[in-house]
Amino acid sequence: MSRSRLGRASATFAESITTLLNSTVADGASVRTAASAGAYSLVATDARRNAPNGGPIHLRSAGRASLWIDLKAFLFEDEAGYLTIQKSTWSVLSGPGKHDVILHYDYERGKEGYPEAHLQLFCEQPDLQAYLEAVGRKRSRMQHLHLPVGGRRFRPALEDLIEFLIDERLVEAKPNSKQTLERSRAAYQDIQLLAAVRRRPDKAAQGLLDLGYKLEEPAASRVG
């Protein structure tokens, strides 16, 4: 995938997120290809000329307090030529200044020291704080803990985060939002399924054989 192809694929990805947000929990949201960093393309919410790295966008809510979502994803071409996420952060924030983080889902491909896909919660929990101090982590807080969420292949989708906001009545969802999320999530899961098949064709083949399918081994894999 050339830089131009990566740019086009990234723009299509950004457009799909824009459509998803504006069809469910936002009005006038904009997600764009914000910048390039070496072999990576950055897609972000509210990316503009004077804010190339993007920033939070406002979510629909009947509440007096403001709620925001901030999305960033670094994309690249994998060895098979597929558009792939190297790193992403889906954050939910509150307050008029858009600075108070509530939570964020992170994915960091090849990360060492904690799970590639994880959730971080920004809250105070006195008993947990006392425990962290007792085990020698005096500077750690709840938000420094990385809760695993499914790993590289089965991590939550952005649709799951949006559904959480709707189900907990934290946002004012548009009509038919649930149906929109179901369609979009199904497309995401299909992509993940195909990626899993490419990584473990032996397991995929065994699953099909167990269902009664007849398979033929690819020519490149035949012996002789």
Query: Where along the chain do its domains lie?
Result: 3-221
Based on its alpha-carbon atoms, the radius of gyration of the chain, rounded to whole angstroms, reads 20
Handedness of CA 209, 214, 220, 224 (dihedral sign): positive
- Burial of 103 from C-beta contacts in 10 A (0-12 / 13-18 / 19+): middle
- Region 179-195: mean pLDDT is 95
Q: List 36's β-bridge partners, or say none.
A: 41
Phi-psi region of 173 (alpha: psi -120 to 50; beta: other; left: phi over 0): beta
In tens, the pLDDT along 192-211 reads: 999 999 989 999 999 999 99
What's the one-letter identity of residue 193? L
Assessment of whether the complete model's pTM goes beyond 0.95: no
**b/e burial code for range 31-55 (CB count within 10 A of at least 16 → b):** bbbbeeeeebbbbbbbbeeeeeebb
In tens, the pLDDT along 129-148 reads: 999 999 999 999 999 999 99
Q: What angle do CA 99, 143, 109 make, to 5 degrees?
A: 95
Compute φ and ψ for 42, nearest 5 degrees. Answer: -100, 125
pLDDT value of position 37: 61
